[in-house]
Amino acid sequence: MENKTKYILIAAVVVVVLFAAGMAYQQKTIMDLKSDLAGISGGSSGSGQKALNSPSTVRAVQSTLTSNTKEITGKITAKTDNSLTVEAEVADLSKLSGVPEEKLAGDTNALPKTKKTYKVSVNGQTQYPSMKFQDLSVGDQVIVRTNESVYQADSLTASEILVIGRGNISFAEMVKELKYIVGQVKEASDKYVVVETQQLDVSKIKISDPKEADLQNVPKMTKNYKVFIDSETSFLGSPDAIKVGDVIKAYSAKPVSSVTEFTAVKVENPFQPPVK
């Protein structure tokens, strides 16, 4: 039980974000980019034929990625009392000219990658939904979220650090230890909200090594939670603003996989997932 508590991980967070809120946020950015590219392409050729690529298209994509990418995924290679060194893979902006135009406005994960090393500092505002800073170790795989553009700096201040891979703990156990939900509000009152989530079906996970897990292919299920709000619940945002249709993030004091209701220790409303 001690090891289980120590290695509380949130490998499921990526899927939760993508399927509960992040996908809509990311798709908006992609659609905006596609609209920009359509305007560029439409004005660049009198014959109506699109070129494989163009300098204007590349500049538009570079500008969008530079402005909106505020998250890295990588491995901790060093640690001090208040900082981490993280080796991450990010899109290689210098190689975008060789990518077909139709792929530039698609999934950024498909773009050419380059490795980049970051110094990640933490402070009193840094959030740790999974493991506290003192429990992080060299070799851990993490997602670092920041308020800064990851293409314009080698040093970042983390707003949130999520652990997505560590040790030999099973993938199913990692998912079962998740202590928050992200989902859409289906019913709202001054005492509770009903939240619909899309999450991993832990009963169907058979992968023992989390490094081998393809999160996009793990079976998903819809699950509703009744989330109570009391005088001890803290808010990022206003409790009076919660309404049906909002996407919120609600934290529990205990793992949420085996329950259908809990009292929130903290609620983020509205939840603002970062652009990948």
Look up the CATH number of the domain holding residue 82.
Answer: 2.40.50.140
Tokens for 81, please give them. Answer: 């009392």
User: Does residue 91 carry a pLDDT above 60?
Assistant: yes
Of 165, 200, 230, which one is at a domain's C-terminal end? 165
- The pLDDT, as a whole number, for residue 240 is 72
User: Does residue 276 carry a pLDDT above 50?
Assistant: no
- The pLDDT, as a whole number, for residue 274 is 52
CB burial of residue 121 (10 Å; 0-12, 13-18, 19+): middle
Same domain, 177 and 250: yes
Say whether pTM exceeds 0.85: no
Cross-strand partners of 90: 114
What letters, b where the CB count within 10 A reaches 16 and e where it falls short, cover 92-120? Answer: ebeebeebebeebbeebeebeeeebebeb
Q: Is residue 232 included in any domain, yes or no?
A: yes
Pairing mode, strands 220-228 and 261-263: parallel
Q: Sorting pLDDT into bands at 50, 70 and 90, what band is 195?
A: very high
Provide the mean pLDDT of the chain.
Answer: 76
User: Does residue 270 carry a pLDDT above 60?
Assistant: yes
Query: Does residue 241 contact residue 267 with C-beta atoms inside 8 Å?
Result: no
Residue with tokens 């409790």: 239
Sequence-ordered alpha helix ranges (H) in 45-98: 55-68
Same domain, 73 and 155: yes
Three-state SS at 10: coil
Stretch 117-135: mean pLDDT:
91
Half-sphere exposure of 256 (CA within 13 A, CB side): 30
- The pLDDT, as a whole number, for residue 18 is 33
Question: How many structural domains comprise the chain?
Answer: 2
User: Does residue 251 carry a pLDDT above 90?
Assistant: yes
Structural domain range at position 126: 2-165
Least confident stretch, 140-144, 263-267, 272-276: 272-276
Of 142, 165, 188, which one is at a domain's C-terminal end? 165
Q: Sorting pLDDT into bands at 50, 70 and 90, what band is 57?
A: confident
Stretch 171-198: mean pLDDT:
88
Instruction: State how far the Cα of 184 lies from the Cα of 111, in Å rounded to an integer.
Output: 31
User: pLDDT digits over 5-29, tens only?
Assistant: 334 333 344 333 333 334 343 444 4
Tokens for 169, please give them. Answer: 């703990």
CB burial of residue 8 (10 Å; 0-12, 13-18, 19+): buried
Of 110, 145, 165, which one is at a domain's C-terminal end? 165
